C-alpha cells in the first residue's frame, strides 16, 4: 500500500516527525527559520494528500485549487485566520488546529508579559547592561503593582480562563468580556462579565485574548484607548490586527495610557523602525506565546496525528470544520 504524501511547511523536530514516517510519506521544508517559499508550497500542495501549515502560510483558494488531492490541512496553531475555512469546507478538505495543548503555556507568557511591562523588567535589565546603575533612589525604576488590581480580559476562551486563574492567585479582581457568558468561570474564579465599554473604562490591566474576526478587527482603536484609565496597561497576546497600532502609539506618547506589552503585531515580523519600539514603556516580544519546547512538540504531534487519522479514514481529533 502506498503511503499518503504529506508536506510540512516548516522544519519541525525530527524526533516528532520520525514517529509518523512509518505510515506517512513525509516531505518537510528544509529551513528552520524562514517560511516556506510560496511557489514551493503550491507545488507541494499539488502532489500531497495532507499539509501541515503555520500561521505564516496563506491557505487560500489558490492553494486549494492546486491541491486536488488534499484531504486535510493541519494548521499548527490555535488560530486559523490564515485559512480560508469556507472554501476548504466547500472543497471537502478537513481543517484542524491545535487548541488545548498550548493553553497553559500561552497563559504563562501572557501573565509574564503583563508582569514585565508593569514592573519595567526590560528597562531594568537594560539599565544594568548599559552600565547605568550608579545608585539607588526611592522611585528608581518604580513600576506598577499587579496584586489586588483589576484585570479585564477581552476574550474568555481557554487561554483567557487560564490567565484568570493566575490573576486570582494575585488577588486581582477579574472582569471579562466575551461573545457569551462563562458562568462556570464566574463561579470558579469570581470573574465578572462586563460590556467591552465598561471593562476598558474600569480595568487597570486590559488583556486582549480575543480571536481575530471581522467583528474584532481593530477593536482596540483610538476611541477605545481614550476610554481607558491613564494609569492602565494594555497587553495583547492574541492577534496584531485587533489593535490600531498608530492609535496605541499616540495614546502612549500623549499619556492616555501608561504602558503596553505586545507579543503580536499587525505585520509580522515587525519592522525594526516601528515607532512602538522607540518607547521605553512598551515591551515587545516576537510572537512567542506558545514557545516552550514541550508545548511546541505537543503541537507538532497533534498536527501530525490529525493528518494521519484523516488520511486513514478516522475522525480528526481537533476539527475546525465539517467538510462537504
Query: Which active-site residues does the annotation give?
Result: 239, 268, 287
Q: What is the torsional sign of CA 32, 116, 159, 294?
A: positive
Could you tell me where the DSSP H helices lie in 131-221?
158-169, 183-189, 196-202
Exposure pattern of 215-224 as b/e (b: 16+ CB <10 Å)?
Answer: ebeebbeeeb
Which of 8, 98, 90 is CA-nearest to residue 57?
A: 8
Neighbours of 166 (CB within 10 A): 18
Question: What are the two backbone dihedrals, phi and then psi, of residue 246, each rounded to the nearest 5 degrees?
Answer: -65, -40
Written as nine digits, the cell of 35 is 517560511
Return the C-alpha cell found at 74: 493541519
How far apart are alpha carbons 194 and 154 in whole angstroms?
10
**All three cell numbers of 7:** 508536506
| Cα-based angle 16, 89, 53 (whole degrees, multiple of 5) | 25
Are 16 and 294 spatial neighbours (Cβ–Cβ below 8 Å)? no
Q: Are 304 and 20 in contact (CB under 8 A)?
A: yes
Closest-CA residue to 288 (of 264, 267, 272, 269):
264
Amino acid at each position: 500500500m502506498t503511503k499518503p504524501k504529506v508536506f510540512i511547511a516548516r522544519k519541525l523536530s525530527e524526533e516528532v516527525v520520525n514517529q509518523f514516517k512509518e505510515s506517512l510519506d513525509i516531505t518537510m521544508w528544509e529551513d528552520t527559520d524562514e517560511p516556506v517559499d510560496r511557489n514551493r508550497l503550491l507545488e507541494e500542495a499539488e502532489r500531497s494528500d495532507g499539509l501541515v501549515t503555520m500561521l505564516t502560510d496563506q491557505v487560500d483558494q489558490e492553494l486549494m485549487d492546486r491541491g486536488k488531492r488534499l484531504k486535510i490541512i493541519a494548521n499548527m496553531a490555535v488560530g486559523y485566520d490564515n485559512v480560508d475555512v469556507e472554501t476548504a469546507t466547500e472543497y471537502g478538505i478537513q481543517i484542524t488546529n491545535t487548541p488545548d495543548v498550548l493553553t497553559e503555556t500561552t497563559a504563562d507568557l501572557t501573565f509574564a508579559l503583563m508582569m514585565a511591562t508593569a514592573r519595567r523588567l526590560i528597562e531594568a535589565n537594560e539599565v544594568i547592561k548599559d552600565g547605568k546603575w550608579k545608585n539607588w533612589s526611592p522611585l528608581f525604576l518604580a513600576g506598577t503593582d499587579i496584586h489586588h488590581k483589576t484585570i479585564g480580559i477581552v476574550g474568555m476562551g481557554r487561554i483567557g480562563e487560564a490567565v484568570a486563574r493566575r490573576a486570582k492567585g494575585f488577588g486581582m479582581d477579574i472582569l471579562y468580556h466575551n461573545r457569551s457568558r462563562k458562568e462556570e468561570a464566574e463561579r470558579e474564579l469570581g470573574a465578572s462579565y462586563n460590556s467591552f465599554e465598561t471593562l476598558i473604562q474600569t480595568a487597570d490591566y486590559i488583556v486582549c485574548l480575543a480571536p481575530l474576526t471581522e467583528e474584532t478587527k481593530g477593536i482596540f482603536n483610538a476611541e477605545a484607548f481614550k476610554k481607558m484609565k491613564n494609569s492602565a496597561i494594555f497587553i495583547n497576546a492574541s492577534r496584531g490586527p485587533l489593535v490600531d497600532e498608530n492609535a496605541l502609539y499616540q495614546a502612549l506618547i500623549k499619556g492616555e495610557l501608561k504602558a503596553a506589552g505586545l507579543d503580536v503585531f499587525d505585520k509580522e515580523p515587525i519592522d525594526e523602525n516601528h515607532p512602538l519600539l522607540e518607547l521605553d514603556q512598551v515591551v515587545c516580544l516576537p510572537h512567542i506565546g506558545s514557545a516552550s519546547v514541550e508545548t511546541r512538540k505537543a503541537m507538532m504531534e497533534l498536527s501530525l496525528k490529525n493528518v494521519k487519522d484523516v488520511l486513514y479514514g478516522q475522525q480528526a481529533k481537533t476539527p475546525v470544520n465539517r467538510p462537504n
